[in-house]
Structure 1
Amino acid sequence: MKKLTLKLSLSLILGLSSTLTFATENGADSFALGAEGMMAGALPPPGVYLLNYYQNYHAGSFDQGPDSFHLDVNAFIPRLVWMTEQNYLGGQLGFYAAQPLVDLRLNINGMSDHNAALGDLILGSMLGWHQGNHHWIGAIETVLATGQYDTPTSAQPVVANIGKNYNTIRPIIAYTYAPANGLDISTKLSYSFNDENDDTHYKSGAYFAGDYSLGYKLNDHVKLAIEGYAFKQLKSDHLNGDDIGQKGQVLAVGPAIQYQDQNWSIEAKYLKETNIENRPEGHTGLLKFIWAF
């Protein structure tokens, strides 16, 4: 069995819809904020890997949004990764696919909805490089509008949509510095380009998102870290082709712990959001289990 040394990006599709307008459509995005942490820039040897990922997210307020807002999300995301023996531009070639399963409860100003369904399908390809203590990843990820989606109506203005009803293209870079002294400095950065939601004629502006981790290996099995994420929307949203001047941002931080054995690892973290603009404000708990076949 291969010794597992990877952290790979996942995407939680957290979609919600109402008649309100916020930065990115209803404050949602298709980047899994906080999913990556320790060893985020290191890809494993050739082989097949299964990542099982669970996230619980709760938000009790919405900056510049409704007076009463509650969102609860539970998501399970299986992801299959295939690292080939092929090399291009000096980097190892890999592919991945992920299919989120999401349970979402939404309440806005006394109106509520609940839904549990498949989210949008995620496909990606990547190259990984290694040089001593330095590791890099370059990837292209596509989020396809395959998840369940219902257009809000006057009779049902609040809809807990699992799918987003638009596609996203996302270039990604990740880096890890992991010297023998046990230090682990890792980050994953991305930039997302969204097309228009044909049903609402809303186009979420392009945004930057990044995960970060500062960790230390206590022994051959256990690492501790301070981790978090940042989100900054750089392009305003458009509605019916008009710039509505809405941009969102968020910063999060919290503790994380990882246990790693011969061919598997498990990581848990708790992250609290702050510096919110035009988005929900909450906290998230994440659990990731990775198995190398």
Structure 2
Amino acid sequence: MKNKIYALMLLSGIATHVCATENGLDSFALGAEGIAAGALPPPGVYLLNYYQNYHASEFKDGPDNFHVDVNAFIPRLVWMTPQQIAGGQLGFYAAQPLVNLRLNAMGASDSNSGLGDLVMGTMLGWHKGNHHSIAGLEGVFATGDYDNANPQRPVIANLGKNYHTIRPVLAYSYLQPQGWEFSTKLSYSFNTENDDTNYQSGDYFAGDYAIGYQLNDQVKLALEGYVFKQTTDDDVNGVSIGNKGQALAFGPAIQYKQDNWSLEAKFLKETEVEHRPEGHSTTLKMVWAF
């Protein structure tokens, strides 16, 4: 009975990889951060542009004949103020994904393009020598395109999740000016219920990591990746159905930087996956300081 319920819920649609534990996906941008993830910049306005392609042709513990391909462009505007609270520099940010999604599952298919769910947050950053840290709180709001499945459309490529997420975030970086780096960004996500499906996605832990070495003033090489671990069961109509997802990913990355901009590229392959798609992603991240 549990597997039957899960299959029915899967066919109610699918959210993007970069924008739910419902449908085996989530709203944490897995693998988006890496190099210098815990180091906030000086006061000013910054534009971060992310491009991510995610491809998976298998859904672990899920439906057969599965294929998903996601292309997402995510501009993120960051405002670092001169204000300090508890010795930390205060900042704000907002990100709006633009997504192209193609989905096939159990003999049905769909595609969609448009806006995903809006992300907004605030953060504090501290610096002490080579040590840098961040504490933040962000919300993911159900603003993206969403439609519930029906007999005429058993699979729907939804760009939004149709529920909200609140997420505390911690990040840390150890940065040697010329040498080694260790960075990580950790979070824990609390999800509201999808009112259209009565599906309550479980809470989950997620984090990005990077171990890098500065070759010269412009170039840094790194091993990057992410971990995802769901800590509570999914519920349908208040009944627990399990489906705790997990994943581990790793791969090479390179960063090139100049005075007021930087470009980071990475390729990450997933392994140890349960109750989620298993695939790989290619990510480009460009930071521009105004």
Instruction: Give the alignment's TM-score, normalised by structure 2.
Output: 0.94
Q: Which amino acid aligns with 1:191?
A: Y
For the 8 Å contact 1:195–1:203, the answer to whether it is kept is yes
Residue aligning to 1:12: none
CA deviation after TM superposition for structure 1 residue 144, in Å: 0.4
Deviations 1:100-138 (A, max 9, x none): 000000000220000001001100000000000000000
Residue aligning to 1:245: 242
For the 8 Å contact 1:17–1:160, the answer to whether it is kept is no
Q: Which amino acid aligns with 1:228?
A: G
Percentage identity across paired residues of the two chains: 68
- Matched residue SS, 1:224: strand
Of the candidates 180, 193, 203, which is equivalent to residue 183 of structure 1? 180
Alpha-carbon spacing, 1:20–1:119, altered in 2? closer, same or farther (3 Å): closer
Of the candidates 213, 217, 235, which is equivalent to residue 216 of structure 1? 213
Counterparts of 1:19 and 1:266 in 2: how far apart (Å)? 37
Residue aligning to 2:251: 254
For the 8 Å contact 1:228–1:271, the answer to whether it is kept is yes
- Matched residue SS, 1:79: strand
For the 8 Å contact 1:70–1:107, the answer to whether it is kept is yes
Residue aligning to 2:132: 135
Deviations 1:226-254 (A, max 9, x none): 00000000000000111112200000000
Residue aligning to 1:113: 110
Which structure 2 segments of 5+ residues have no match? 1-8, 15-19
Root-mean-square deviation (Å): 1.3
Q: Which amino acid aligns with 2:151?
A: S
Which structure 1 segments of 5+ residues have no match? 1-15
CA deviation after TM superposition for structure 1 residue 181, in Å: 4.0
1:34 pairs with 2:31: yes
Counterparts of 2:172 and 2:93 in 1: how far apart (Å)? 18
- Matched residue SS, 1:244: strand
Residue aligning to 1:76: 73
Instruction: Give the alignment's TM-score, normalised by structure 1.
Output: 0.93
Counterparts of 2:255 and 2:79 in 1: how far apart (Å)? 23
Matches within 5 A, 1:85-234: 85-234=82-231
Deviations 1:13-63 (A, max 9, x none): xxx952499x82000100000011010000000000001110000000001
Q: Which amino acid aligns with 2:177?
A: A
Counterparts of 2:47 and 2:13 in 1: how far apart (Å)? 38
For the 8 Å contact 2:13–2:158, the answer to whether it is kept is no
Residue aligning to 1:13: none
For the 8 Å contact 1:40–1:188, the answer to whether it is kept is yes
Counterparts of 2:127 and 2:255 in 1: how far apart (Å)? 22
- Matched residue SS, 2:23: helix
